Structure 1
């Protein structure tokens, strides 16, 4: 991001039902940055705005790139290592997150459109000269909540919902989900799925974002992961699982599955916490 400067907002005490934000900071890691294993008594969200790195939490490793979101619950030991490329710029939010509503994904990828919205929101924080003054508290709070809306939706704490009232009952979203059940082979493109739904991809993405906050690509990724987890639970070979969900390259499927869950398919199969949650 241009015109980078550090941001540190302490003692925010922004609270809405289920969420209390403690602190927000913008970190740009130095070339030699390697964090030792540590933990916190609060939850933490890390949003990669630029650059790449690798997060490790409870023996699970996550490769991070722009748009990656990492969620560390309280008490979870984790560490960080940057890759030998551009130093990552990471937005860190310390918060208390109610865990009874939904189980957040430990690692998620934000759509490009939402990443751009978060970057724009951070730039608006830059423009507030005295961010910790009382006169700025409402402006700062509204921007932080705007960022959280995108982030918590991406990790699954906020479930997709119709943001424009009950008159529209997510008809397009449900129709697309039914299409994905029948039409998601390796040769099927997003354009083909959109055409079967009666739209072009851009138009369909706008409708889906209005209804549920997700793009067609995100819906398909979640649908594929859910199917993959169920097939693995049924004991199918890993290569067969990839083929069944439309990913023929076994190595690519393993990398994709690790990016979604933080574990390889074989490690996830052996894990005692084999839940399918969406």
Structure 2
């Protein structure tokens, strides 16, 4: 469990140099860096890279934002930029990891759709297992990169398109609203301004509609009112800060746009049933003593 004031930001795990140092594409296996992490990758985020990860053996647990997710191979994970994540895995676990410059993905309109702005996991639990096609394409990318990294970029980016298209088809994204442009625009605006205490009218003005139209759009495309969506985003950010930093609660309250600590505590309790302090304590206890009942290793 991370104890530093801030969540570290990496390119590939453990590397903080400029993205240009690794080019637009980088592929490796998780256990290539075993000496660095020994199966425990602490919470971190990537601001410039997206990652495609195919677990080919073993299993363990992911920590993604405020969630603990158990998994066994085969499991596929797509990790977009700026998502706090880490994992603990059993001996014998390994995965292929394709890291791509975010710009390489966003040049295609396909990757600007919401499915590729959110974490996507295919683990056979709440979603299907990854298909043999995903496994084949991930292995093809790894083999091509090993042959000559300097000439692999075009091939790997093409494979990444195919892998994510297949992953989206398998998952079916579980909610048709994810494909609607209105959902995209609302999410973008909330991401930019959830800390700013904007009124619904201010959001509506930016989107060129009335507050009534905006709330109707939000309910249709996202399933909730705009205020609820803003609250959900503030809650997620507060959980990230409680879990992965040691900042005081009053500082966290101010950072998410609720500068009154008492009001923030009521807000947090209303949505979680716990005070911020109790939630942080439970999180620390849960991550300090992860479950040891992980299933045995399975291999593709």
TM-score bracket, normalised by the shorter chain, equals 0.3 to 0.5
**Higher normalized helix content (fraction of residues):** 2
Give the TM-score, by structure 2 length. 0.38
Higher RCO, 1 vs 2 (CA within 8 Å, ≥6 residues apart): 2
